[in-house]
Amino acid sequence: MKGWKPSPPFLLLLPAIIVLAAVVVVPLLLSLYSSFTPFRLTRPETFWVFIGARNYINIFTNRDFWAAFARTVVLLTVALNLEMLIGLGLALLVEKASRGQRLLRTIMMFPMMFSPILVGFQFKFMFNDNIGLVNNALQALGLTDRAIPWLIDGNLAFIAILTAEIWSSTSVFAILILAGLLAMPREPLEAARVDGCTPWQTFRYVTWPFIMPFAFIAMTIRSLDVARAYDIVKIMTDGGPAGRTELVWTLVARTAYSDAKMGLANAMAYFSILLSIGFTVYFYRKLAAARTQIAAEW
C-alpha cells in the first residue's frame, strides 16, 4: 500500500513476532506438512513426497500406538483419581491446622519445585534392584527376603512410574483445593452444624460442591500433563521392558528418532493432540456444570 507506514507499537513488537514465527509457527507448519509425507531422517528427499492422509490412516491399524494410548489412558485415569484423593486429604488436613499453616503449604508445594527429569532420576535410584531405597526398606522391615525387580517387571515398572507421577504432582490438586477451602464462606458450614449434619453430610452436600470447580481445574491441568508424559518414563524405563511402559509420547520419540520415521511420528503427535483437546473439552464442560450447580445452590 502506497504511503503505508507501520505504527511504533508494531515496530516494537516486530522482533518478538519474528522470533515467535521462527521458533514456533514455522516448525509447527513444517511438522504438520511432514505428517502428510513419508519423511524419514535417513532420506531427506522424502520430505517433498506428498502421500495425503496415509500416515493418519496407518495409525488406526498401528497396534503399538493403540497399546501406548491405552497405557496412557490407564496412567491418566489412575494418577488423576489418586492425586485428587490424596490432594483433597492433604488440603483438608492443612485447612484444619491451627498453627504452622504457611509452613505446611510451603512443604506441600515442595515436590513441584523438581523438574520431571530430576524426579525420574530420583525414583529410578529409589526403585533400583540392588541399592534402591524401596528394596532396602522392605528388606529391613522383613517384608521381603529378596530384591524386587521394580524397573524390570512390566507391571511393577508401571507402578513405579505411577508413584513418581503421583509424588511429583499431587501438590497441584492440594494447592488448588486448599485455595477453594480457604475461599469458602463459613456461614453454610455453621448452618449445616446447627441443622445437625454429620461431618460426612457437611462435606458431601456443602463443602464438596463448592470446591468441585477447583478440583476440575486441577484435573484439567494434570490431564494435559499426564497425556504428554515423557520425561519421567524416558528416564526410569525408556518405555521398557519390552515396551510394557511405552506411552504415546515415548512412542512418538522412538518412532521419530530411533526408527527415523519422522512423518509417521508427527502424524501420531497431531492425532494425540486432537485426543488431548477432546479430554480438555470434556473437563471444561464438567467445570461449567459444576459452576452452574454452585450458582444455583449458593
Q: Are 266 and 45 in contact (CB under 8 A)?
A: no
Task: Tell me the pTM.
Answer: 0.84
Q: Does some domain include residue 12?
A: no
Range of the structural domain that residue 121 is part of: 63-297
Q: Does some domain include residue 34?
A: no
Q: Is 144 left (phi over 0), alpha (psi -120 to 50) or beta?
A: beta
Q: What is the pLDDT of residue 9?
A: 83
| Burial zone of 197 (CB within 10 Å; 0-12 exposed, 13-18 middle, 19+ buried) | middle
Q: What is the pLDDT of residue 40?
A: 92
Q: Does some domain include residue 257?
A: yes
Place of cell 500500500: 1
* SS3 (DSSP) at 128: coil
Place of cell 454429620: 198
| Residue 34: band (very low, low, confident or very high) from pLDDT cuts 50, 70, 90 | very high
* DSSP H or E stretch at residue 77: helix 63-96
Q: Are 231 and 116 in contact (CB under 8 A)?
A: yes
Q: Does some domain include residue 100?
A: yes
CA 75 to CA 2: how far, in whole Å?
A: 59
End-to-end CA distance of the chain: 57
pLDDT single digits (tens) 118-146: 999 999 999 988 888 888 888 888 888 88
Q: Does some domain include residue 233?
A: yes
CA 57 to CA 80: how far, in whole Å?
A: 31
Q: What is the pLDDT of residue 3?
A: 64
We report the CATH number of the domain holding residue 155 as 1.10.3720.10
Contacts of 248 (CB under 8 A, 6+ apart): 65, 68, 69, 72, 227, 228, 268, 272
Query: Structural domain tally of the chain?
Result: 1
Grid coordinates in use for 279?
A: 479430554
Q: What is the mean pLDDT of residues 217-227?
A: 82
Q: Does some domain include residue 249?
A: yes
Q: What is the pLDDT of residue 244?
A: 86
Q: Are 95 and 271 in contact (CB under 8 A)?
A: no
Q: What is the mean pLDDT of residues 160-183?
A: 90
Q: Does some domain include residue 37?
A: no
Q: Does some domain include residue 57?
A: no
Q: What is the pLDDT of residue 87?
A: 92
pLDDT single digits (tens) 254-281: 999 888 899 999 999 998 888 878 877 8
